Chains A and B, each alone.
Chain A
Amino acid sequence: MSRFGRFAVHALLAVAAALLSPAALAHDSRPAYLQLTETTPGRYDVVWRTPLMSGMRLPVVVRFPEGTRNVSGPAERDFADSIVERRVVQVDGGLEGKRVEFVGLEATITDVLVRVQLRTGETSTTLVRSSKPWVEVTASPGRFSVFTAYLQHGIEHILLGVDHLLFVLGLMLIVRTPWMLLKAITAFTVAHSITLAVATLGYGHVPEAPMNAAIALSILFLGPEIVRAWRGETSFTIRNPWVVAFAFGLLHGFGFASGLTALGLPQGDIPLALFAFNVGVEIGQLAFVALILLMVRAFRILEMRGPRAVQLAPAYVVGVLGAFWTIQRVTMMIQGG
């Protein structure tokens, strides 16, 4: 990438980092999860899982339609990252065609994943958003709804995952040619797809706290490399960015997996959900890369230049944010958070 191209990306990074760093401090897009399993006509096992945000319970309450009464429960169980409530309810005439509401969801930025399994074996999965905090229970076949729900969640996860995007942007600052960029992005994609699948299918597991610290470290690692590349110096990373992209991509894949498994999806839907989630992540990532490339092209046409301090600032922003997150997450890890 030419000097001007680097400047253009640097300037963009400075804006993006300044804009998104507050959001990045709370990189958490875990949705709540409601599972309704019909056991006998009109009777449902209910699992209601709400994530803990900074130790606080999500202020959302499930409201069933009129004519619903508790048969047993509710019984709550506390986990490190969530609270799970179980109960059995009886709904007069069943839930089909009726609305389940999530009171308080409209005041949050959290989604709720709703999975309904009827006695016939039919399932439906719906991602409920704060802008429309209810779901109408239907007996649709479910495969398509599972796909679209997890596709959306994959896109959301990458768009809210500022640390992942910052890593991709850091890679783009280092690469010098379109071919190197293609190799680096492909390597990152392949690597995170591997570990996303491995972790989601239960073949491997990395504890969340060290993983998050290592992801932050991957961003910190890129800061000095960007400065080195801008100065015209070279290093193993600058010569072979795809290797670094692959190595750290493995880590980021575990991060994506934590976002997927936090949904608590039953085993039967995991392969389809995994595929859809990964496609969503790639769509979001490619859209981000495309936007950056378009902006670089536009800056080049407009012949935009800036002083040296402005050109170098983004590299330091990457480094500083990486260092901040590393310290923050290592501290949380030591404290057992």
Chain B
Amino acid sequence: MRRGERRALACASTLVAALTPQLAHAHLVSTGLGPVYDGILHFALTPEFVLPVLAIAMLTGLRGRAHVRLALVALPLAWLAAGIVADATAIAVPDALAWLPLLVAGGLVTLDLRLSPRATTVIATLLGIALGSSNGAALAQAGAGVRGVLGSTAAVFVIVTLGAATVTAWQTGWLRIAWRAAGSWIAAGGLLLLGWTLR
């Protein structure tokens, strides 16, 4: 594993270690259509979840199809497993650290590091664990339970698939720079959130 990859993995590992054992706070929006759809909507309306997942889609899309295919298995599975565990234990990421996934995932897209498929898979898995546990605990508190976690997992799968396919198809010339710029905005969002947390 190269030096850049080790740094990236160290960042992601620190992220997971820092984020895991805390109580989560629920802010679920009810669709009136049951817990599966509530889970989907909760994910879709929570920028702290959507933006890092989009960043993973961009990161793997920029690196190539092999990266995407592995991440498409790893991220949703990690999200699902962590969500189910969090649903049972109600522990996850504290709100005060919501900036970290944005900063890490967005930063990795911005840097456009030449990571191996294994490295991107590990990063996707770690982010899946961190974000999935937070999401699962929030859904558990709101009463959506495992079916809510299943709904959000499906949403993660769809978002990563569509996002990564878009980046894969459109990355020639200035478009690649545009994706990296988008990643920098996500990272900047993380910094803003950090500033807001520290105010």
Contact = CB atoms under 8 A, between A and B. Distances in A.
Interface of A: 15-16, 19-20, 22-23, 109, 111, 129-131, 156, 159-160, 291, 294-295, 297-299, 301-304
A19 B162 contact: no
B69 A130 contact: no
Nearest to B161: A298
Interface in B177-198: none
Contact of A299 (B31, B151, B154, B161): B161
Contact of B65 (A20, A109, A159, A303): A303
Contacts of B69: 302, 304
A16 to B, nearest CB: 8
A6 to B, nearest CB: 17
Contacts of A156: 32-33
B37 A159 contact: yes
Consensus secondary structure, chain A interface: helix
Interface string B19-45: 000000000011111111100000000
24 contacts: A15-B157, A19-B150, A23-B34, A109-B32, A109-B33, A130-B30, A131-B31, A131-B32, A156-B32, A159-B33, A159-B37, A160-B33, A160-B34, A291-B158, A294-B162, A295-B162, A298-B162, A298-B165, A298-B166, A299-B165, A301-B168, A302-B68, A302-B164, A304-B69
B112 to A, nearest CB: 19
B154 A301 contact: no
Given A19-B151, A159-B37, A295-B161, A302 B32 contact: no
Nearest to B29: A131
Nearest to A300: B165
B169 interface: yes
B175 to A, nearest CB: 14
Contacts of B176: none
Contacts of A15: 154, 157
Interface in B134-163: 147, 150-151, 154, 157-158, 161-162
A129 B32 CA distance: 6
Contacts of A297: 165
Contacts of A23: 34, 36, 147
From B30, B32, B157, residue with most partner A Cβ within 10 Å: B32
Nearest to B164: A302
Contacts of A19: 36, 150-151, 154
B159 to A, nearest CB: 11
A302 B33 contact: no
B158 A295 contact: yes
A297 B170 CA distance: 14
Given A19-B151, A23-B147, A131-B32, A302 B37 contact: no
A290 B168 CA distance: 20
Given A301-B168, A301-B169, A130 B161 contact: no
Closest 10 CB pairs of A and B: A298-B165, A131-B30, A129-B32, A301-B165, A109-B34, A298-B161, A19-B150, A301-B169, A298-B162, A302-B68
A302 B71 CA distance: 12
Contacts of B161: 295, 298-299, 302
Nearest to A304: B69
A311 B157 CA distance: 18
Interface in B27-67: 29-37, 65
Nearest to A156: B33
Nearest to B154: A19
Given A109-B34, A302-B168, A303-B65, 15 more contacts: A15-B157, A19-B154, A22-B147, A129-B32, A130-B32, A131-B29, A131-B30, A131-B31, A159-B33, A291-B158, A295-B161, A295-B162, A298-B162, A302-B65, A302-B165
Contacts of A22: 147
Nearest to A291: B158
Contacts of A111: 32
Nearest to B30: A131
A194 B30 CA distance: 33
A280 to B, nearest CB: 13
Most A-side CB within 10 Å, residue of B34, B151, B162: B34
B169 to A, nearest CB: 5
A5 to B, nearest CB: 14
A130 B28 CA distance: 13
A111 to B, nearest CB: 6
